Chains A and B, each alone.
Chain A
Amino acid sequence: MDRGRKAVTKLFLFYPGKFFRLLSLSKFMMAGFLILLLFTILAIFSSWISSNPVLYENWHLAREFSQPAWVRFFDSRISENEVHGLLGTDEHGRSVLNEVIWGMRVSLFVGFLATILAVGVGTMVGLVSGYKGGKTDTVLWTITQLVLTLPVYPLLVILVAVYGANMWNIIVIVGAIWWTWTARLIRSQVLTVKERAYVDAARALGAKDRDIMFRHILPNVLPLLFANATTIIAFAILTEASLAFVGLSNPNEISWGTMLFNAISFGAFYKLAWWYIVPPGLCIGLVVLGVYFMGIGAEQILARTSSRQ
């Protein structure tokens, strides 16, 4: 089991070609990876293929709530100036396609950064708590369990409402809530790994606690950490969207959640503007799906590689 996990970590870090062959072991992993890759590339290059929809000079000044252009293939009664672009327009006549691509930046940025924060803090807490034991463990573990039981969403709503709804606040607050999930996992893993013979051997040879934690124990929990991080990315993206959906987002940074908030606030319902509501939600769903698929794929690959050895 240990050797399998170490091998995966090594492949990921040093042999990307073999890593991709490993990815192809699981269809779930491949599908999830491709979905996330596509979205990440689109987010990175979004400023080339789209423009910031918040700035007035980028507005296309089409009619508000115009339908997508391809609707005319199905219904010839719709005239040419009632449609605009691939995905129609929103309440200000801005292109929905442009907003979806631009919104990717905020959603993914918040998702990834909050996850890095959460996984970083959670790993540290889990490692120290599991390895040190005793009073340190009691204190850290109690805090972790308490934060884990608290109702996350209303707490987030209060924190963001009080401290201001800008992107960095949201990243820090979301990260500060989700670290407990990593801490719980890492602690339980460390508790089993630290009983292994090689940890005793390292200690007998006089290795420092810090070295044992980071060089001997951490590499063994890395693959599981990866699966955990994927779940937290999904949570973080969904959390950002749910906060933006009640209006807790920076109005100058359009995200998918902000689009849905605008849609319900500006009466996309009455206009039956499905083209304004379907794309952002579908994108959130696809990213979360990709992330879940990667988590399942990681488990499948772990099971296969470890049973082979």
Chain B
Amino acid sequence: MINLALRDYVIQRGIISIALLFIVIFIDFAIFRLMPIDPLSLMGASRLPAEQIEFLKHHYGFDKPIIEQFLLYVVRVFQGDWGFSFYSRRPVFVEIGERVWNTVILVGVSQLIAGFIGLFIGLSIASKDKAKSGKALLTGSIILYSLPVFWTGLLFVIVLALRVGLFPWSGTTSQPPPTEPLKYLLDYAYHLVLPATAIVLNSFAGAAIMVRGSALYEFQQDYVVLARAKGASNFSVLYSHVLKNAMLPMITYTALTFGFILTGTILVEIVFSLNGLGKLLFNAVITVDYPVLQSMFFVIGLMVVSANLLADMVYGFVDPRIKIG
């Protein structure tokens, strides 16, 4: 019975995610078709002879009805035919495919660290909520959370990388990159320290504020009162009872704010010239590279939708009290 409910839940979430993905593709398609400018003149094709313009129109399917164009677009998106970058003239799929893993690693590493730090700081704020130390920690978290994450990165570059010279200030690896795998890994990690720290400082503060809220709610629940009445120590109430329940909203929180987290990561990548999606986006905006921007929205949409789906799944398996709807 429970398994059946879980299966329905998984199917329902899956259908919603697929629908969302199609909406992302539709927006991508619509923005560039509803534009006041003809897509061919964007490519700089207006000076070409008439028969070449006809050829291009036919090649890209602009002479077909709009519905057919959309279907063709969907098929091409899933085939990985994302057009060519106006700037580098290379396939967009390759351009993004080369860089997306650097972004995924940066997001993954920094969010894992931020999640753990945020959970423990949030719990300790909640357990000392009325005391001075709790209030100071809360205020500190809010201050860290308000600072723009790319600005924290800029300060790190100027002070820690350029002035003090502790860390490299730009690039994913040193140039030329080390050939030995172990040395390459160490070099990669060394370049990741500053950007990851900038993101962690921002993300853990947000998580801590959220965990504090849910932990304060849990403190008033009957099971905590019971545990206290049975003589459990503060430490064991906090870490063996409240911790598990305060962790659940963390999953939803991370998924819901994943779009913001990715935004912060992209901006930090720009600051540190990491070879990820951020650098690609920055160059695409400057060179008005529409195919890259269009695919970027799809890729980031895909990442956010999968993060939400993953969170729903984890939540469904971790918490038996799942509700549909």
Contacts and interface: CB of A to CB of B under 8 A. Distances in A.
Interface of A: 146, 149-155, 157-159, 161-162, 234, 238, 241-242, 245-248, 260, 263-264, 269, 272, 274, 277-278, 280-282, 284-286, 288-289, 292-293, 296
B31 A149 contact: no
B293 interface: yes
B154 A264 contact: yes
B43 to A, nearest CB: 14
Q: Is the interface of B mostly helix, strand, loop or mixed?
A: helix
Contact of B263 (A152, A158, A277, A286): A152
B154 A277 contact: yes
A296 B293 contact: no
11 contacts: A150-B27, A153-B266, A157-B293, A161-B293, A242-B150, A260-B150, A272-B162, A274-B158, A285-B143, A285-B148, A292-B145
Given A151-B301, A277-B155, A292-B145, A247 B263 contact: no
Contact of B296 (A154, A242, A284): A154
A151 B107 CA distance: 15
Contacts of B162: 269, 272
Interface of B: 20, 23-24, 27-28, 31-32, 35, 142-143, 145-148, 150-151, 154-155, 157-159, 162-163, 169, 259-260, 262-263, 266-267, 270-271, 281-282, 285-286, 288, 290, 293-294, 296-297, 300-301, 303-305, 308
Contact of B142 (A153, A260, A272, A296): A296
A246 B145 contact: no
B27 A155 contact: yes
A154 B27 contact: no
A247 B262 contact: no
Contact of A150 (B267, B271, B301): B301
A286 B297 CA distance: 31
A152 B259 contact: yes
Contacts of A161: 285, 288, 290, 293
